[in-house]
Amino acid sequence: MHVWHGGHAGARAGLARRRDYKGDMEQTLVILKPDAVQRGLIGRIIARFEDKGLRIVAMKMMTISRELAGKHYEAHQGKPFYPALMDFITAGPVVAMVLAGPQAISVTRALMGPTRGWEAPPGTIRGDFGVSATCNLVHGSDSPESARREIALFFGPEEIVDWEPADVRWLGL
Ligand code: DAT
Ligand code: MG
């Protein structure tokens, strides 16, 4: 990693010393669910994460098998909505990705909005694009433990790409 030399415009703006960029990074698993893909919303949803400054460090299109769906949603087994959830999440291709950034887990959840589309406020992904509780467009891990577990279900370590955006210092990272 290269350091930021003094004398640039940013240094004059008081940003000469960077914080440790890696220090408080989190990673989270995001899935653009089959409804997002079928409705042609991949680009618009990803744009919200990019606009916020989250960094895509892994991404692929895939169809989730019932086996993987069962592992991913194992905490929900036995709940009334579980069969519909299994059918939905395996019904067509998804885009799975790992996002990285400061507090990436809670930042992603805030951008998504609450689970049920009819409760999600305008300005959130779920609030702007749907009214359903099942077809709610996007998954995001809900804790560091979930993120670690879910990322390992969907991605091998070799699929996660460590890169640094050119504008990182202007995002306060
Ligand atoms: P979230 O996806 O917001 O983390 P969750 O983990 O509680 O929500 O549930 C996982 C998914 O299960 C959710 O995205 C959609 C489905 N689900 C949850 N509660 C539901 C409900 N009451 N009716 C229908 N589907 C539901
Ligand atoms: Mg959840």
- Among the options 5, 72, 76, 139, which is catalytic? 139
Is 139 touching ligand 1 by the criterion CB < 6 Å?
yes
How far is the C-alpha of 118 from the C-alpha of 98, rounded, in Å? 27
How far is the C-alpha of 30 from the C-alpha of 95, rounded, in Å? 8
For residue range 66-94, what is the model confidence (pLDDT) as tens digits?
999 999 999 999 999 999 999 999 999 99
Spell out the domains of the chain, with CATH numbers in brackets: 20-171 (3.30.70.141)
Q: How far is the CA of 169 from the centre of ligand 1 (A)?
A: 36
Contacts of 110 (CB under 8 A, 6+ apart): 124
SS3 29: strand
How far is the C-alpha of 21 from the C-alpha of 132, rounded, in Å? 38
pLDDT, the chain, mean: 90
> pLDDT confidence of 7, banded at 50, 70, 90?
very low
Ligand nearest, relative to CA of residue 79 = 1
What pLDDT sits at residue 171?
81
For residue range 14-24, what is the model confidence (pLDDT) as tens digits?
554 455 555 57
For residue range 118-150, what is the model confidence (pLDDT) as tens digits?
999 999 999 999 999 999 999 999 999 999 999
Average pLDDT of the segment spanning 155-172: 90
How far is the C-alpha of 25 from the C-alpha of 36, rounded, in Å? 27
Is 69 touching ligand 1 by the criterion CB < 6 Å?
no
For residue range 22-49, what is the model confidence (pLDDT) as tens digits?
557 999 999 999 999 999 999 999 999 9
What pLDDT sits at residue 16?
47
Is 115 touching ligand 1 by the criterion CB < 6 Å?
yes
Ligand nearest, relative to CA of residue 139 = 1
Is 139 annotated in the active site?
yes
